[in-house]
Amino acid sequence: MLDAQRLAALAVAQVLAGRNLNQVLQKELSRHPQLTPQQRALLQDLSYGTLRHYGALRAILGALLQKPLQDENIRCLLLVALYQLAYTRTPSHAVVDHAVRVTVQALRKTSAKGLVNAILRNFLRRREALLADAACASEEARYGHPQWWVDKLRLQYPDHWEDILARGNQHPPMALRVNRRLNSVEAYLDELSQAGIAGRVLGQSGILLQQPVAVDRLPGFSAGHVSVQDGGAQLAASLLDVTDGMRVLDACSAPGGKTAHLLELAELDLTALDHDSKRLRKVEQNLRRLGLKAACLVGDAADPEPWWDGKPFQRILADVPCSASGVVRRHPDIKWLRRESDIAQFAAQQAVILDALWRCLEQGGKLLYVTCSVFAEENSRQVASFLQRHADAELLPLPGRVERDLQLLPDQEHDGFYYALLAKL
């Protein structure tokens, strides 16, 4: 636990300084190849869990301190240890002992040894009262999201905002997408059952697992029989309404889940575009594993001229950059990295991308607009504004649904996504 606790504290400190959690953890894991799989899993749990409950943990630590801590590494170590004591079943004596040892041996802050020990033991004595007080200290502490986020959801979802916030603090479900070129959903369910993995059918190609498992336990994963993809994300391929022979653009394709799903459903002339060459390599890796082919191009969806050959696409998937407010339970750092002003910036970027991609769509073609956001500025308001700007655009009913656009909210089956299908008249 010693290494995991130390590295988690360093990771949390970097996130709170503005870094992306996944990138931080990848760097730390590459620097510490000696960590066992159990230590790696513990490091992830401690980092994710501390950020998931950061609002309450910050309030609890504030109540235990007589004055603010100036040392950010010690503060984050205490946050990680408090997460363990408050939200896990780790023996309390081990948590306290390890935190004190990290303070002295790893952080070399011998002068803080007594403070760390006293804070954590004080929490253990007052645990229930401190947890109750934290829930009343502020809405940030109670709901585990920044106040502006709470306020925005309360305004936009007066009947559902508390449930959305609660879902954002839970562990996400794990869903699979069966490669129907190679297998059926029913047959793969049988393979899972034989491997001791329980699940049920989800949508047309999906399986929702009863409990998350490591991908190396999934039968046929390396052979391309199945992919891990959220149930909400799996809707994109069917909603784009593709058929064999179509010329299709996946405009913001990385890491390639939706790209692959489209190719699993139909024989397409598909271009997978992404502005980041490193992320585009992940698309190529996914396609190779699944035995699929696409033209992978590095390019900016907001500026087609350098990469577009001028031949219109019949279908465009525009899974645009967004706040990712619908997937915070998978990426809890997002809650604390985002600022309210970011939403307007994302919306402005999305409008530029939509206008640029519209020029690449043939008359009679369709563009599916997608975000993993729950904020209206990026979703329904964005589409309404686009329709005002483009007289040649029409919002179509989504295939197989009565809605003309779809706002999915996080639940036990999927994350939060938005879908709108636009036709070029």
Query: What is the 8-class DSSP label of residue 86?
Result: H
- Per the CB < 8 A criterion, the answer to whether 225 and 219 are in contact is yes
Q: Which two tokens stand for residue 21?
A: 């959690």
The greatest distance separating any two alpha carbons of the chain, rounded to the nearest whole angstrom, comes to 71
- Per the CB < 8 A criterion, the answer to whether 420 and 395 are in contact is yes
Collapsing DSSP to helix, strand or coil, 286 comes out as helix
In 3D, which of 258, 300, 259, 294 has the Cα closest to residue 277?
A: 300
Who's near 317: CB < 8 A, 6+ residues apart? 236, 240, 248, 249, 250, 251, 253, 258, 262, 367, 368, 370
Catalytic residues: 372
Collapsing DSSP to helix, strand or coil, 316 comes out as strand
In 3D, which of 371, 240, 360 has the Cα closest to residue 301?
A: 360
In 3D, which of 316, 198, 299, 141 has the Cα closest to residue 246?
A: 316
Q: Which residue has the tokens 């502005």?
A: 275
Collapsing DSSP to helix, strand or coil, 247 comes out as strand
Query: What is the 8-class DSSP label of residue 48?
Result: H
